Amino acid sequence: MPNLFIIFALFIGLFCNRTLGITYGIIFGILLDFFIGKKIGITGIMLGIVGFIGALFDKNFSKESRFTITVMILITTFIYELVLFIISCFIYKYSFDFLKFLKIATIECIYNGLITIILYPLLQKFGYKIEEEYKGKTMLTRYF
């Protein structure tokens, strides 16, 4: 099942800034925990980290390529699932079944990657509008 919250938190981190990516990730993660989670806070922390990772990716990678954005989504989805699995093993005393984790993480990565590929033009267009609003014009005026 795809996790659209990972895509949303990464998207906000990429196109807005680190603070908004972390804030939106935490807020939506806490709401997600409140409605379907067992303990409130774990998903919020993880989606906040995804927003932070999005801000790091913004400084190091281009947002122009569909492939780059898809790889970013795949990496953050896998990190999200891995840390959530490790925390669940320790807090909830789940059995450490690594093959089951790989199956779930692979399916979620594939779903998130496909959704990103399909929605990429819409995400990019909307993202640049938001980026212009929050970051302003980045033109260096001293050369003109």
Angle between helices 98-135 and 4-15 (to 10 degrees): 40
pLDDT on residue 132: 79
21 backbone dihedrals φ, ψ, rounded to 5°? -60, -45
pLDDT on residue 112: 92
CATH 1.10.10 fits 4-143, yes or no: no
Question: What are the C-alpha distances in Å from 129 to residues 33, 73, 123, 136?
Answer: 30, 20, 10, 10
pLDDT on residue 143: 52
pLDDT on residue 136: 66
pLDDT tens, residue order, the chain (144 aa): 678 899 999 988 888 888 888 999 999 999 988 888 777 788 888 899 999 998 888 877 877 888 988 999 999 999 998 988 888 788 877 777 888 889 989 999 999 999 999 988 888 888 888 877 776 655 555 555
pLDDT on residue 141: 54
pLDDT on residue 1: 63
110 backbone dihedrals φ, ψ, rounded to 5°? -65, -45
User: Would the pTM count as exceeding 0.85?
Assistant: no
Q: How many CB atoms lie within 10 A of CB 144?
A: 5
Q: How many CB atoms lie within 10 A of CB 50?
A: 30
pLDDT on residue 138: 55
CB burial string 26-38: b at 16+ within 10 A, e below: bebbbbbbeeeee
